[in-house]
Amino acid sequence: MLRCYIYTYTSIFLTTFASKNRQMDIQLFIPCYIDQLYPQTAFNTIKVLEKAGCNVHYNPKQTCCGQPAFNSGYWKEASDLAEKFLTDFNADMPVVSPSGSCTSYIIHHYGKVLSGKTELIRQHESMKSSIYELSDFLINALKIENLGAEFPHKVTYHDSCSALREYGIKEQPRRLLKQVKGLELIEMTESETCCGFGGTFAVKNNFISGAMAEKKVRNALETGAEYIISTEASCLMNINGYCNKQNLPIKGIHLADVLASGL
């Protein structure tokens, strides 16, 4: 359902926020967690990209990138999904996604699950250099830091494990946040420590995962922040689950939602 809405939204509002002096055609990839649980983040990603001057192309046939299957050991299923991704997207224009985790998986692990499929590996090699996480794309491809967003709140930032250690996102989100009007960014202790999600880890080891989420949120609360920002909807789901259960005065929010605020 969301994919149909995004397709319609993109078609109608394609040029609403586009800058006249900067145009770039891009393909939008929306990960499963955002598609199913945080649809507004998907719409806000479109809003941000169009504000940055992009013409956003959304293929409603897209599905999961295959990371959950890969991490659970189902490489045959992961291979099938990798093949579908390479069918749904192409190397003619950049692919941008509001997830460093999914983006990093596609870049670094498709070669493993597609082993022996020569043509698909060649296709992946020609595409992977043009696949970006949202903040990296804004900072390093478009050279944009200030989108004109307004978010008058104290916030802190959570470095997702995959986004930080595999994709390499660190300063990009922070540079964007520092340009948001009214926003005060306060670094928390151990911002790079895992929140406890880890995919099926949170299910198979729920007590350990809960303890890790508690520590992450406690560190965030000590900053006086109202929001914990991340590039990963999966981390935010785990963080918000703990915050809601404990009725805490803080919540997780995606970077795209902050950057779209006030636009």
SS3 227: strand
Radius of gyration of the CA atoms of the chain, in A = 18
Residuewise pLDDT in 10s, the chain (263 residues): 455 455 445 444 433 433 444 589 999 999 998 999 999 999 999 999 999 999 999 999 999 999 999 989 999 999 999 999 999 998 899 999 999 999 999 999 999 999 999 999 999 999 999 999 999 999 999 999 999 999 999 999 999 999 999 999 999 999 999 999 999 999 999 999 998 877 777 677 788 888 899 999 999 999 999 999 999 999 999 999 999 999 999 999 999 999 999 99
117 and 198 fall within a common domain? no
d(CA 196, CA 205): 9
Q: Is residue 147 part of a domain?
A: no
Q: What is the model's pLDDT at position 207?
A: 81
Do residues 3 and 35 lie in contact, with contact meaning Cβ atoms separated by under 8 Å?
A: yes
132 and 247 fall within a common domain? no
Do residues 133 and 100 lie in contact, with contact meaning Cβ atoms separated by under 8 Å?
A: yes
In the chain the first and final C-alpha atoms are separated, in Å, by 25
Question: Which DSSP letter does residue 166 get?
Answer: I
What DSSP element (H or E) covers 113?
helix 100-113
At residue 136's C-alpha, the angle toward residues 134 and 139, to 5°, is 110
d(CA 68, CA 21): 40
How would you classify the pairing of strands 227-230 and 184-185? unpaired
- Per the structure, the complete domain to which residue 190 belongs is given by 154-259
Question: Which CATH number do you get for residue 84?
Answer: 1.20.1050
89 and 28 fall within a common domain? yes
Q: What is the model's pLDDT at position 11?
A: 43
110 and 168 fall within a common domain? no
Question: Which CATH number do you get for residue 200?
Answer: 3.40.50
Do residues 128 and 110 lie in contact, with contact meaning Cβ atoms separated by under 8 Å?
A: yes
d(CA 27, CA 108): 19
125 and 180 fall within a common domain? no
Give per-residue pLDDT as tens, 47-91: 999 999 999 999 999 999 999 999 899 999 999 999 999 999 988
Q: What is the model's pLDDT at position 205?
A: 72
Candidates 93, 20, 13, 84; CA nearest to 45 is: 13
184 and 90 fall within a common domain? no
68 and 194 fall within a common domain? no
Q: What is the model's pLDDT at position 13?
A: 40
85 and 179 fall within a common domain? no
183 and 94 fall within a common domain? no
